[in-house]
Chains A and B, each alone.
Chain A
Amino acid sequence: MNNITSLTLTETLEALKRKDFSEEELNKAYLEGIEKFNPKLNAFLEVRKNKSGIPAAIKDAIITRGIKTTAGSKILSNFIPPYNATVIENLLEQGVSVLGKTNCDEFTMGSSGENSAYGVTKNPWDLNKVPGGSSSGSVAAVAADLCTFALGTDTGGSIRQPASLCGVVGLKPSYGRVSRYGAIAMASSFDQIGPITKSVDDARLVLEWISGGDNYDSNCRKEKFKIKSLAGTNIKGLKVGVPKEYFGKGLDSGVEKVIQAAIKKLEELGAEVVEVALLHTEYGVAAYYILGPSEISSNYARFDGIRYGGTRNNFGSEVKRRIMLGTYSLSTGYYDDYYAKAAKVRTLIRGDFEKAFEKCDVIVGPVSPTTAWDLGAKTDNPLAMYLSDVYTIVANLAGIPGLSVPCGFSEGLPVGLQILGKQWDEQTILKVGYAYEQATEWYKEKPKL
């Protein structure tokens, strides 16, 4: 076996079955890669020297029993969870092991990975660029072949956007598909855990592993996501909606070209392209930055430095900013103007999708308006940073699933195609993603480190 670490998860499982190599050799190969490349990337915060199991990288915002979990924050610098998140228990049952904990924006608040208290993660395609965020370490680890797959969390785009910027597959499941128990909460009505993988079929398998009912999360749907392998998928006659709101001002022309070519490819594969309208898209970021921070200001009251963690002066500046914004919008006299108003706009955004899905099976467009930007370029301008999530945030407001699939490059940097589906219909977005991936094989491109 010349290169164990370049195999996808499903290929790895087959190779193990054939006894091409042992689990010990598999873990050794990944550990060697981490030793060599992590100093350059800063993707992992903790690494476990396992000898068995399928090595997975877990975003540090997901708690792991006995393994330090900081969520990228100084306030949790010594936190060793006494229990596992439900997704971790589910993975352990499947023979997966925690290879390490990955860097992320502090408490998942950020779009570039630069808000971590433990240093910025670099983009494996260009070490001077951001990897995207907040699941920055998880996407960098998958892109650089430092794990078989990773888990991330997505509250406003934190799986899909970095997956797009680093050229890997990222899936945000429908809200309620995967238990949030043990995911350190950011904004509870938006948070979802999901897979970051080397292929679309891998994302299908990991979603099957981590989905299903959980008594510890009453928003979690009982039915497990389970479909047969995606092999042989055909998308002939499938209706693909293209919203013109995703192709307006702010979209980089290089990214637009790549996305238009990808849509053309779907057409060649037999899909029928229809125009749809998502009229309230431009209000998504504004609504999210009222509702999200409001939930944050309430959730983060739990950090009292009594039961765990340090004192509140250890919060980083983005976390403080969002707590302040939420506290303000919920305070006396402002609730109706801000929180209630934003919650109504959320209804309209949801309605946009319901109407659009009467005309199509999936909606496609860019994940991010640009490719990866220079480190430091947006750190002084929080609003500019927020606007980089304009195409992903709406899916979280509506609770629908979204997939980012590598679809080419603009000036040497990866671009992701976003495929959005009806609530609970991960199956169709995975089918479209798979058909596209098999026809183009962009996923075979690897960064040179």
Chain B
Amino acid sequence: MQLIKEEVKHIAKLANLPLTSEEEEKYSQQLSNILEYIEKLNQVDTANVKPTFNVSGQSNVMSEDKTIASLFQEEALSNAPKVKDNMFETKGVFENE
């Protein structure tokens, strides 16, 4: 599997990762190598095999419907780079940047 630089750019955009042109080149090479190795999964016959997504064996875990203590607003905001009126400040969603 060859991952060309254009595809790397596309994936980086989907993943919201700013990459330099140098990084795009490097990842194109490295990800291609890794994907080539991963191709070996095709040697395994999985025709009648169900996928596994969770191995804890737990299902439908319920918790009581009651109010418990949580963080104070001040604590929740304590690591925010930008705070305005006791809220997280973000870029406008509907504005063009």
Contacts of B17 on A, CB cut-off 8 Å? 312, 315, 320, 323-324
Q: How far is the CA of A297 from the CA of B14 in the complex (A)?
A: 10
The answer to whether B37 and A383 touch across the interface, beta carbons within 8 angstroms, is yes
| Min CB gap A321→B, angstroms | 7
Q: How far is the CA of A147 from the CA of B52 in the complex (A)?
A: 38
Q: Which residue of A lies closest to B8 (CB)?
A: A324
The residue among A286, A313, A383 with the most chain B CB atoms within 10 A of its own CB is A286
Contacts of B71 on A, CB cut-off 8 Å? 82-83
The answer to whether B88 and A307 touch across the interface, beta carbons within 8 angstroms, is yes
The reply on A338 being an interface residue by CB < 8 A is yes
The answer to whether B34 and A218 touch across the interface, beta carbons within 8 angstroms, is no
Q: How far is the CA of A305 from the CA of B61 in the complex (A)?
A: 32
The answer to whether B79 and A307 touch across the interface, beta carbons within 8 angstroms, is yes
Given A82-B75, A345-B46, also A218-B61 (CB < 8 A): yes
* Per-residue interface assignment for chain B, residues 79 to 93, with 1 indicating a CB less than 8 Å from any chain A CB and 0 otherwise: 111100000111000
The answer to whether A78 and B54 touch across the interface, beta carbons within 8 angstroms, is no
Contacts of A175 on B, CB cut-off 8 Å? 55-56
The answer to whether A350 and B55 touch across the interface, beta carbons within 8 angstroms, is yes
Q: Which residue of B lies closest to A328 (CB)?
A: B11
Taking CB atoms and an 8 Å cut-off, the chain A residues in 282-298 that contact chain B are 282-283, 285-287, 289-290, 297
The answer to whether B54 and A383 touch across the interface, beta carbons within 8 angstroms, is no
| Min CB gap B89→A, angstroms | 8
The answer to whether A280 and B44 touch across the interface, beta carbons within 8 angstroms, is yes
The majority secondary structure among interface residues of chain A is: helix
Given A176-B57, A320-B23, A324-B27, also A383-B34 (CB < 8 A): yes
Chain B interface residue number, banded: 35 or more
The reply on B94 being an interface residue by CB < 8 A is no
Given A82-B76, A308-B79, A320-B19, also A189-B53 (CB < 8 A): yes
Q: How far is the CA of A306 from the CA of B93 in the complex (A)?
A: 13
Q: Which residue of A lies closest to B50 (CB)?
A: A347
The reply on A348 being an interface residue by CB < 8 A is yes
Given A176-B56, A189-B54, A305-B81, also A345-B41 (CB < 8 A): yes
Contacts of A313 on B, CB cut-off 8 Å? 18
The reply on B2 being an interface residue by CB < 8 A is no
The reply on B67 being an interface residue by CB < 8 A is no
* Per-residue interface assignment for chain A, residues 307 to 340, with 1 indicating a CB less than 8 Å from any chain B CB and 0 otherwise: 1111011010100110111011001000000101
A-B contact pairs, 17 of them (CB 8 A): A82-B78, A175-B55, A189-B53, A219-B61, A221-B56, A289-B38, A290-B41, A312-B17, A323-B17, A324-B17, A327-B15, A331-B14, A346-B51, A348-B46, A350-B52, A350-B55, A382-B30
Q: Chain B residues in contact with chain A, CB under 8 A?
A: 3, 7-8, 11-12, 14-19, 23, 26-27, 30-31, 33-35, 37-38, 40-44, 46, 49-58, 61, 63, 71, 75-76, 78-82, 88-90
With A282-B40, A327-B11, A344-B44 known, 7 other A-B pairs at CB within 8 A are A176-B57, A308-B80, A310-B81, A321-B27, A344-B52, A345-B46, A397-B55
